[in-house]
Amino acid sequence: MPGARAVRLDANSHDEAVGRSTRHFLQLKDLTQTELEHLFGRARVLKERQRSHSLYQPLRGRTLAMIFEKNSTRTRVSFEAGMAQLGGSALFLSSRETQLGRGEPIEDVAEVISRMVDVVMIRTFEQDIVQRFAAHSRVPVINGLTDEYHPCQILADIFTFIEHRGPIHGRTVAWVGDSNNVCNTWLQAAKLFDFNFHVATPPGYELEPERGESYESMHLECFNDPHDAVRDADLVTTDVWTSMGFEDEAEARKREFADYRVDTEMMKLAKPDALFMHCLPAHRGEEVDADVIDGPHSVVWDEAENRLHTQKALIEFLLLGKVES
């Protein structure tokens, strides 16, 4: 029966695409340290090309689908602009306006979209959603933020650290505040790049170490007092007290996180040349004082810009492999 044969052949090619050759970026540790370092090298090259207006368009005719179930400024603009700069195009798909918002199964959406585009970026709630999407996708899937992880952010953050201070190996990164998706991803980075990760969270909001997956205890130290966590740190970083999806807890969190604001006095305990980072958007007067985020230690604008360059390197790698030129 011709129809049955067509289905069988199709299933084989699907297994091949999903099981063997398709790489995804759902967590930072989905790439090896060597591959991540390759991305940083490429990000440097692509950043220079962008700044000198030198055209580099290896992805002509390729399409990125961007699925957003949560709000975004940086992630949307950096992926959309980045794909255009590489010669391709990007589609913005809000769950409100697609059938996802009316309950179409994520597996079905993955099967369909991945037959039409070359790469997919998803921002959603549970990590399980991006994993299920990837399991049914013929093309690479990138996690653009879930409740658990934000790997694209940490790509940009480490690249920014390297640009300003050189290798992050052996350094100390201090996290103050909520043990959220960005914090979990820093923990994975600590193992991959072999640095010390200090975390200070309020009682009841402690890091769940399994979020870092196979982290090693030498890479993680938890503190009750944020001042102890930042002492002699090379980088101090924080994030909003209330992440997207947790808005019902916002008032309680304002009370419980009140002692976990990064201020000038706290920054004085870090190394004199310590950097300050924040993935943004920030709430001045809550998790960070204006004096810090707008002050001399802060590299938040470079950090935001580097989302563009590191994600271009990521897409290039996922679609074209290790490009050296």
Instruction: Give the footprint of ligand CP on this chain (CB under 6 A).
Output: 72-75, 145, 153, 279-280
State which residue, 69 or 289, has the beta carbon closest to ligand NVA: 69
Strand order in the sheet with 89-94: 89-94, 63-68, 119-123, 141-143
Query: Which of 74, 123, 171, 309 is labelled catalytic?
Result: 123
**Of 222, 244, 269, 323, which lies in the binding site for ligand NVA, with binding defined by CB under 6 A?**
244
- Please say which residue, 144 or 202, places its beta carbon nearer to ligand CP: 144
CB of 215 closer than 8 Å to CB of 191: yes
The conformational region for residue 117 under phi > 0 = left, psi -120 to 50 = alpha, else beta, is beta
Cα 31 to Cα 37: distance, rounded to the nearest angstrom? 10
Binding partner selected for residue 179 from ligand CP, ligand NVA, none, CB under the kind-specific 5 to 8 Å limit: none
Tell me which of ligand CP, ligand NVA, none is bound by residue 298, counting a contact when its beta carbon lies within the kind-specific cut-off of 5 to 8 angstroms: none
Tell me if residue 307 falls in helix, strand or coil: helix
Q: Does 130 bind ligand NVA (CB under 6 A)?
A: no
Give me the amino acid identity at 20.
R
| Binding residue (CB under 6 A) for ligand NVA from 109, 190, 279, 299 | 279
Q: Is 96 a catalytic residue?
A: no
The residue of the chain with the least Cβ separation from ligand NVA equals 243
Per partner kind, with CB cut-offs from 5 to 8 A, the member of ligand CP, ligand NVA, none near residue 182 is ligand NVA
**Helix axis angle, 106-113 relative to 127-135, nearest 10°?**
50
Judge whether 307 counts as a catalytic residue.
yes
The answer to whether 115 is a known catalytic residue is: no
Q: Which is nearest to 114 in space by CA: 91, 85, 84, 145? A: 91
* Spatial contact of 286 and 261, defined as CB atoms under 8 Å apart: yes
For 49-68, the DSSP string reads: HHHTT----TTTT-EEEEEE
Residue 240 site contact among ligand NVA, ligand CP, none (CB < 5 to 8 Å, cut-off depends on kind) = ligand NVA
Which of the following is catalytic: 136, 147, 279, 297? 279
- Is 102 part of the annotated catalytic residue set? no
157 binds ligand NVA (CB under 6 A): no
Is 125 among the residues that bind ligand NVA (CB under 6 A)?
A: no
Give the residues across from 277 on adjacent strands: 237
Is residue 180 part of the contact set for ligand NVA (CB under 6 A)?
A: yes
Determine which residue in the list 182, 190, 274, 275 makes contact with ligand NVA, applying CB under 6 A.
Answer: 182
Name the active-site residue from 150, 198, 219, 253. Answer: 150
Residue 153 annotated as catalytic? yes
Strand partners, 122: 67, 143
Candidate ranges 4-12, 39-47, 59-67, 238-246; the one touching ligand NVA (CB under 6 A): 238-246
Q: Is 291 a catalytic residue?
A: no
Rounded-to-integer distance, Cα 264 and Cα 251, Å: 25
Nearer to ligand NVA, 137 or 146 (CB): 146
| Residues in CB range of 144: below 8 A, 6 or more apart | 66, 68, 72, 75, 79, 121, 122, 123, 152
Residue type, 281: P
Using CB under 6 A as the binding rule, whether residue 314 contacts ligand NVA is answered as: no
If the CB atoms of residues 172 and 237 are measured against ligand NVA, the closer one turns out to be 237
Contact 103, 125 (CB under 8 A): no
181 contact choice in ligand NVA, ligand CP, none (CB below 5 to 8 Å, kind-dependent)? ligand NVA
- Give me the residue whose beta carbon is nearest to ligand CP: 75
The catalytic site residues sit at: 123, 150, 153, 239, 279, 307
